[in-house]
Structure 1
Amino acid sequence: MSASSAINETSIMEGLRRVFRSDGTASDDFTLRDPISLPDGKVILGASSAEIAAITTRLASAQSRTESSFQWESEAEFSLVSLDQVGAFDRFFEGETFEGQGDNPVTFRVGRPSREFAAYLLCKFAQNPVLLTSPRARMILNRIRQIGSDRISTGRRSIEGDSLFDVIAEGLRATTLQITAVKSRADFETLANSFLFHAAYNTDAAARIGLEAMFRPQAFQRVRRSQNGSLDAPRQTYDADLVHHYLMGVAAEIPLLEYLAYYHIAEHFFVKVFNEDLISQVRSGITDPSFSARRSKDIQSIVNIVTKVKGRIKDEGGVNELRSLQLVLDSFISIPRLISDLDAYDADLVGHYANRDVPFAGASKVDIRAHDEEAVRGAIAKRIYKVRNALVHAKEGELPKYAPFAHDEELAREIPLMRFAAEQIVIAQGKVL
């Protein structure tokens, strides 16, 4: 875990201050301005320095930790993200415990975060103020502040425990999977994924290991080119199929689906540009001054062009996709506009493409600012095509390949390149109203 994600007493205290809009007291304890009264009569005044220190020590003792998990010798806790919009996974499993069997039985429990994990999520707020600007985050924080008042109901069972971190865990609406074993283990992530498969197989309710979007600042960045009130009426009409793919990409919550939706916009023209390229080659041959319909070798040269292309189509089961993709980019993409869009979205992206390859796809660097635009389009086509192949091909033993969720952060960096290219393709097909 990076230094920027450090978990200590200072970051937990800062998180408490941000959530509850309080400076606390002059002591090392955190005291709420307004005590929280729970339905069962308990009153929470704040959090003691001893409790905060104990939580910090517990988290620091984890033998393994990632952005979404903490693993100790015989137990682990994983943050889960439901993969449906109606919360079917939470409805099926929240608060449920599943007891294993055997010599080293394992227990699985789905529910609200532990106090320690709630404190960790609190640190995410403390270290990333941009999180607090998210509409959903503001709603969650207001909900935490109001728990215990007559204006709000938790919507769950009564809060268990008497700690301020229990209140935070309840209000966050986050879900975790807690796994405990009788003896030490080193395969808790494998156990977690096995449970998620078992759950999805039997109930059709799916979730994955990961942090919800509200705890990930990069997920907030959207391509907003107009402020509210400044949007004009459209001046062009666009192809419905392309629009539908584009809308799917904008709405997609999973990076893989978003990338492929934009790729399909380019793919829409593969056959067209490939055939046009073949026609262009044949036309160029027969209109060349050196060509003569009376010479058999000249006729044969044209036949060879067609035969070669047909042979590739047969071998590859269709048009040459990489060649077609480059032809689409050559036909519709303006490199200066692409650079402008990328810079407006993230000033570091063009440099990222120039200096970093894509490990999970074996895709090479591309200097989009290079002077030879034709060569740039060719390099972009290769990078896009290799990323696309990594997403759709997952044969055992083939490396490199994309691992769902594990490579989402890397893939997210590739999406703007594909999206802005796709936008130019859609706009190039527009017809003036």
Structure 2
Amino acid sequence: MSDERGNMGSPQLVFDAESLLTGLQLVLPGAVDADGGFFVSDAVPLSDGRSVDRLQVNEIVEVLENLKKADIDSLSSLRWDLNAEFSLVSLDARWGFDRFFERNHFVGQGENPVTYAVGRPSVNFVAFLLCVLGQDPAAARRSPRLMIIRRRVRNLVEDGMRSRRIDQLTGDSLLDFVGEVLSVTTLQVSAASGGVDFEGLANSFLFHAAYNLDAAARIGVDSLLEPRSIQRVRRGKGSTLDAPRQSYKVDLVQHYLMGVAAEIPLLEYLSYYHIAEHFFHKVFNDDLVEQVRKGITDPSFSARRSRDVQGIIKTVDRALRQTREEGGFNEPKALQLVMERFVSLPRLIQDLDSYDGTLIEYYATNDVPFAGAGKLALRDTNEGKAHDALAKRIYKVRNALVHAKEGDLPKYAPFTHDAELLKEIPLMRFVAEQVIIEHGKPL
């Protein structure tokens, strides 16, 4: 089949039989290409005791043509004239979003009635996911989700197990089975006539569901396509873990654990930020004490000269006045002091390079538009300048996350800016880790 591309920005996706087959083989390793389509070595189960062992040529052609016609601007959505489909990320840690619904179809009212369907992805969306996986199979194989998926396939095929979900599966395609085992939830929105804002309608439905059911989900890239666990990428397996050699402050550890467990980037970033914030009062006061100490120990200082004593008083009074007026202390200055005292730039650079070799260059050449934060040259030979730029970038991102007054620009839009925020999380996490370790006590 021809090498056709979807209209995604960058990188450009290829929707062809080769990508589809490669993605299918990641889920069903026995899949092969033959004259009649794609075959699997063992038939997979459908509902009512049925099974299927192939994806026919006409099915392959149809889904690929549908993908070529789709408007695709992210890995989470497909749009056509009369319908759209969005992958959902559940914000409930216990249950998948679809489990809150006894029925999955909801029909609206009006001249252009809109239908919503919550559940497993359509064959078009499944084919889309497989093509994405098929174009970066090495990265896909590192996904822990893929191992779970393949184990579930093996159980269903080899042991003849039937889950409640399989028993309720509709459709006759091999892609229907793949959509089930991928455990991806989508929201399908269709209208009787075109010209509608499908994403707006989808978000309206998500608000309606959250308001009435306390069932929260957002439109977002499924974790199968967006593995971002720092721990899995950067560190070894559980078998290589040894006993800790330091004890750490409990409250700092709790913030760190919240960050690691967070599914929402905003919460993850702020959890790590709180670790640095923990020492603001201490470093600010220590800095004031140091200023006073330097003043009174300077050879030019004399306790017998009133102007010298007044100079010391002014230094203290300036700090106290700032505390009263600002309800605390100079947070940007305090954050800069934390960076200077507790963060080793060479170690930070090494951590970032080990996790993602492109991040150092990314920070040096990209600002953070939603925060108005400037570029960060971590490899600047002037460490003081680099620490200052690091503190400013982190502080402005933090402010954008916690302040959302109408008319204030720039500001963070939940979910809309998550892709940009995700780039900032490794920086904040590695900084927080250094702060925790710096204050550890040897066991």
TM-score by length of 2: 0.91
Distance 2:322 2:30 in 1: 69
| Letter matched to residue 31 of structure 1 | F
- For 1:346-395, what per-residue CA distance to the aligned partner results, in whole angstroms no more than 9, with x for missing partners? 22222222122112211111211111111111111111111111111111
| Letter matched to residue 117 of structure 1 | F
Answering whether residue 83 of structure 2 is matched by residue 75 of structure 1, we say: yes
- For 1:218-249, what per-residue CA distance to the aligned partner results, in whole angstroms no more than 9, with x for missing partners? 45763543444333322222211112112222
Moved more, 420-429 or 110-119: 420-429
Alignment correspondent of 2:335: 325
Answering whether residue 176 of structure 2 is matched by residue 177 of structure 1, we say: no
Structure 1 residue 3, shift from structure 2 partner? 4.7
Relative to structure 1, the CA distance from residue 314 to residue 154 in structure 2 (aligned partners, 3 Å threshold; closer, same or farther) is same
Distance 1:142 1:234 in 2: 33
Answering whether residue 344 of structure 2 is matched by residue 310 of structure 1, we say: no
User: Which of 5, 22, 25 is the equivalent residue of 1:17?
Assistant: 25
2:23–2:131: 8 Å Cα contact kept in structure 1? yes
Q: What secondary structure is seen at the aligned counterpart in 2 of 1:214?
A: coil
Alignment correspondent of 2:424: 414
| Letter matched to residue 104 of structure 1 | N
Structure 1 residue 5, shift from structure 2 partner? 2.6
Alignment correspondent of 2:285: 275
Question: Size of the alignment, in residue pairs?
Answer: 433
Relative to structure 1, the CA distance from residue 35 to residue 421 in structure 2 (aligned partners, 3 Å threshold; closer, same or farther) is closer
Distance 1:307 1:395 in 2: 32
Distance 2:244 2:355 in 1: 22
Answering whether residue 183 of structure 2 is matched by residue 155 of structure 1, we say: no
Distance 2:388 2:268 in 1: 23
Distance 1:375 1:248 in 2: 31
Structure 1 residue 196, shift from structure 2 partner? 0.6
Structure 1 residue 208, shift from structure 2 partner? 0.7
User: Which of 62, 67, 70 is the equivalent residue of 1:59?
Assistant: 67
1:134–1:220: 8 Å Cα contact kept in structure 2? no
Structure 1 residue 343, shift from structure 2 partner? 1.9
1:366–1:380: 8 Å Cα contact kept in structure 2? yes
Residue pairs, 1:50-199, within 5 angstroms: 50-87=58-95, 89-93=97-101, 95-129=103-137, 130-144=139-153, 147=156, 151-156=160-165, 157-199=167-209
Distance 2:73 2:339 in 1: 42
Matched-pair identity in % = 55
Distance 2:230 2:28 in 1: 23
Moved more, 3-12 or 409-418: 3-12
Distance 1:231 1:70 in 2: 42
Distance 1:257 1:105 in 2: 37
Distance 1:432 1:37 in 2: 56
Answering whether residue 421 of structure 2 is matched by residue 429 of structure 1, we say: no
Distance 1:32 1:223 in 2: 32
Relative to structure 1, the CA distance from residue 223 to residue 262 in structure 2 (aligned partners, 3 Å threshold; closer, same or farther) is farther
Relative to structure 1, the CA distance from residue 372 to residue 170 in structure 2 (aligned partners, 3 Å threshold; closer, same or farther) is same
Relative to structure 1, the CA distance from residue 222 to residue 117 in structure 2 (aligned partners, 3 Å threshold; closer, same or farther) is same
Distance 2:284 2:435 in 1: 16
1:144–1:167: 8 Å Cα contact kept in structure 2? no
2:120–2:184: 8 Å Cα contact kept in structure 1? yes
- For 1:186-231, what per-residue CA distance to the aligned partner results, in whole angstroms no more than 9, with x for missing partners? 3111111111111111111111111221221445763543444333
Any gaps of 5 or more consecutive residues in structure 2? 1-7
- For 1:80-111, what per-residue CA distance to the aligned partner results, in whole angstroms no more than 9, with x for missing partners? 11111221522112642211111222111111
Alignment correspondent of 1:32: 40
Answering whether residue 204 of structure 2 is matched by residue 214 of structure 1, we say: no
Distance 2:33 2:126 in 1: 22
Q: What secondary structure is seen at the aligned counterpart in 1 of 2:318?
A: helix
TM-score by length of 1: 0.93
| Letter matched to residue 335 of structure 2 | L
Distance 1:293 1:313 in 2: 27
User: Which of 284, 302, 321 is the equivalent residue of 1:292?
Assistant: 302
Indicate the RMSD between aligned Cα atoms, in angstroms.
2.2
Q: What secondary structure is seen at the aligned counterpart in 1 of 2:244?
A: coil
Moved more, 383-392 or 138-147: 138-147
Relative to structure 1, the CA distance from residue 190 to residue 128 in structure 2 (aligned partners, 3 Å threshold; closer, same or farther) is same
Structure 1 residue 150, shift from structure 2 partner? 5.3
Residue pairs, 1:216-365, within 5 angstroms: 216-219=226-229, 222=232, 224-365=234-375
Distance 1:199 1:431 in 2: 48
